[in-house]
Amino acid sequence: MNGGRARLAAGILEADFGNLYRVVRKLERAGADRLHLDVMDGHLVPDLTFGPLVVRALRRLTRLPLDLHLLVDRPSTLVDGLIAAGADSITLHVEAPEPPERLREVLATVRRAGLAPGLALYPGTPVGALTPFHDLLDIALVLLVDPAAPERRFRGELAGKVADARELFAGRPHGWEIHVEGGIGRETAEVVGGFGADILIVGSALFQRGHDIAREIRLVKALADEGWTREIGRGEPPIPRESWSIVATLPHPEADTLSRSIERAGIPTLVLRTGPFVPGVEAERVVMVPAAAEVFTRKRFGLGFAEEDETL
């Protein structure tokens, strides 16, 4: 189980495509949390990469989530095939030249399929361009390099867009992520972590000769969490992603009712028995939520802060 908050998506464009099976296995063992696939059509950007067939092949190779980034000018023509191929999240570009209503249809299609829909921004596009779509977004991807530029260097002066993107989801306690891509590695992870990046997309830094991939992944995630602690946490470390907090201990029917109310607010819950099964005895249940959503949940549902409640 991963500790900490930051997560790493391994971008595979710099990997050895002649040995994808070995690359994927190495990334799994090294602790990558996802695979990030840049689908390029040679139109929105000059490069041409791959489509549904390669996504389907990778789906057969791994259980890691497949995070797709569509640098294509007509995402509507590809989305159904990519969903069928086994994607877990699909992020398209707000700059794609399809009409805004068509982009909304694509995002809605992704969500209906049970996947996470997202929109990406070029370095020169303001975060405000995402506002008309924010109700359909689970992901906002901030690019810190121009994928069409010959020199693709990290532009630290734009990292503040990560914090701006977080504001899109103000009031929504759970179920969204800010991704950041472009020049991300050990030298830049602390910067973007300090602005609140959730998913760091790392490509070439993982595949440099002489680099230990597992060590690189550990460093990137640890440095991102250090940035969060220094800037957002003001000295307090981030809440680990897998932590769950008990927010109530109730009889079974009341626990189920509270759980349903919390989930209608967009927060997942767990309802667990407080003790072993005893015939004829109805044990109380604990209601749990992700620890990062605990404060919101308690305030929203008037649950208070009981001393006996715990974080697991």
Residue 228 in tokens: 């969060």
pTM of the model: 0.92
Each domain of the chain, given as residue ranges in start order, spans 7-231, 244-301
Proportion of the chain above pLDDT 70, given as a percent: 96
Helix (H, G, I), strand (E, B) or coil at 68: strand
pLDDT digits (tens, 9 = 90+) for 111-132: 999 999 999 999 999 999 999 9
Q: Which of 37-51, 66-80, 185-199, 298-312 has the lowest mean pLDDT?
A: 298-312
Phi/psi-derived region of residue 183, left when phi > 0, alpha when psi is between -120 and 50, beta in every other case:
left
Given this model, what pLDDT does residue 148 score?
75
Distance from C-alpha of 60 to C-alpha of 62, rounded to nearest angstrom: 6
Helices and strands, number each (H, E), in the chain: 9, 11
What's the whole-number average pLDDT of the chain?
93
DSSP code for 94: T
pLDDT digits (tens, 9 = 90+) for 93-110: 999 999 999 999 999 999
152 pLDDT more than 70: no
Distance from C-alpha of 227 to C-alpha of 290, rounded to nearest angstrom: 22
pLDDT digits (tens, 9 = 90+) for 14-29: 899 889 999 999 999 9
If you classify domain 7-231 with CATH, what class do you get? alpha beta
245 pLDDT more than 90: yes
275 pLDDT more than 70: yes
pLDDT digits (tens, 9 = 90+) for 193-211: 999 999 999 999 999 888 8
Given this model, what pLDDT does residue 150 score?
65
* C-alpha distances in Å from residue 33, one per residue of 6, 8, 83, 98, 227: 10, 5, 20, 32, 19
Distance from C-alpha of 111 to C-alpha of 92, rounded to nearest angstrom: 13
Map tokens 């004829």 to a residue. Answer: 280
Q: In this structure, is the dihedral angle defined by the CA atoms of residues 178, 149, 83 and 104, taken in order, positive or negative?
A: positive
